[in-house]
Structure 1
Amino acid sequence: MSELEESHRTSVELFAGGGGLAMGVERAGFRPLLFNEFAKYACETLDMNVSKRHKADRIRIPDEDAVAADPYEVPPPGAVVPIVEGDVQRIDMGSLNGQVDVLAGGPPCQPFSLGGVAKGDEDKRNMFPQMFRAVRQIQPKAVICENVRGLLRPSFKPYFDYILRELEFPFVERRTNATWQEHDDVLRAMEKRRVVRPDERYDVVMTPVNAADYGVPQIRNRIIIVAFRSDLHVDLDTFRKLITPQYSEGALFRSILNGEYWKRHNKVPKHVQNRVIAGVPKNLPLDDGSKPWRTLRDAIEGIEEGEDGKLPSLPRISWEKLDRVDYEIKGFKYHVGWPGARIYDGHTPNEYDRPAKTVKAGVHGVPGGESVMLTDDREPDSGSPGGFRYKHRYMTVRETARVMTFPDEWELAGPRGEQMRQLGNAVPVLLGEVFAKAVAATLDEAESRA
Structure 2
Amino acid sequence: MRAIELFAGAGGLGMGISKAGFRPARIVEWDRWCCDTIRENRRAKAGGIGRWPEPIEGDIREVDFRVDEGKIDLVSGGPPCQPFSLGGKHRAHADTRDMWPEAVRVVRETRPKAFVFENVKGLTRASFATYLAHIVHQLTYPELTHLPDEPWIDHMARLERHHTAGGGRDGLRYNVVYRVLNAANYGVPQRRERVVFVGFRADLGIEWNFPDETHSIDALLWEQVRSDEYWDRHKVASRDRALDPRLVARAEKLIEKPAPAPWRTVRDAIGDLPDPETALKQATVCLNHRFQPGARSYIGHTGSPLDEPAKTLKAGVHGVPGGENMLRRADGAVRYFSVRESARLQTFPDDYRFHGSWTECMRQLGNAVPVQLAEVVARNVSHELQTVAG
TM-score scaled by length of structure 1: 0.79
Q: How does 1:381-420 map to 2 (within 5 A)?
A: 389-420=331-362
CA contact (8 A) 2:140 2:175 kept: yes
Match for residue 229 of structure 2 among 257, 260, 276: 260
Alpha-carbon distance in 2 for matches of 1:355, 1:369: 17
**DSSP-derived class of the 2:159 partner:** helix
Match for residue 314 of structure 1 among 273, 281, 305: 273
Is 1:299 the counterpart of 2:269? The answer is yes
- 1:231–1:12: structure 2 CA closer, same or farther, 3 Å change rule? same
Alpha-carbon distance in 2 for matches of 1:168, 1:391: 49
Is 1:271 the counterpart of 2:239? The answer is yes
**DSSP-derived class of the 2:54 partner:** strand
Alpha-carbon distance in 2 for matches of 1:188, 1:285: 47
CA contact (8 A) 1:329 1:335 kept: yes
**Higher gyration radius (CA):** 1
Residue 201 of structure 1: CA displacement? 0.3
Alpha-carbon distance in 2 for matches of 1:94, 1:172: 17
Deviates more, 1:139-148 or 1:439-448: 439-448
Partner of 1:21: 13
Alpha-carbon distance in 1 for matches of 2:153, 2:244: 53
Match for residue 58 of structure 2 among 86, 93, 110: 86
Alpha-carbon distance in 1 for matches of 2:14, 2:180: 20
Q: What amino acid is the match of 1:95? A: V
Q: What amino acid is the match of 1:348? A: T
**DSSP-derived class of the 1:319 partner:** coil
CA contact (8 A) 1:363 1:416 kept: no
Q: What amino acid is the match of 1:94? A: R
CA contact (8 A) 2:264 2:308 kept: yes
Structure 1, gaps ≥5 residues long:
1-8, 55-77, 302-312, 322-326, 377-388
Residue 338 of structure 1: CA displacement? 1.7
Alpha-carbon distance in 2 for matches of 1:421, 1:280: 31
Alpha-carbon distance in 2 for matches of 1:79, 1:167: 29
CA RMSD of aligned residues (A): 2.6
**DSSP-derived class of the 2:304 partner:** coil
Residue 344 of structure 1: CA displacement? 0.7
Alpha-carbon distance in 1 for matches of 2:91, 2:45: 45
Partner of 2:320: 366
Residue 212 of structure 1: CA displacement? 0.5
Residue 138 of structure 1: CA displacement? 0.7
- 1:177–1:116: structure 2 CA closer, same or farther, 3 Å change rule? farther
Match for residue 47 of structure 1 among 33, 39, 42: 39
Alpha-carbon distance in 2 for matches of 1:361, 1:115: 16
Aligned residues: 382
**DSSP-derived class of the 2:101 partner:** helix
Alpha-carbon distance in 2 for matches of 1:115, 1:409: 36
Alpha-carbon distance in 1 for matches of 2:38, 2:58: 13
Residue 122 of structure 1: CA displacement? 2.2
- 1:158–1:195: structure 2 CA closer, same or farther, 3 Å change rule? closer
Is 1:219 the counterpart of 2:196? The answer is no
Q: What amino acid is the match of 1:315? A: P
**DSSP-derived class of the 1:407 partner:** coil
State the percentage of identical aligned residues: 40
Alpha-carbon distance in 2 for matches of 1:229, 1:214: 26
CA contact (8 A) 1:210 1:219 kept: yes
Structure 2, gaps ≥5 residues long:
none
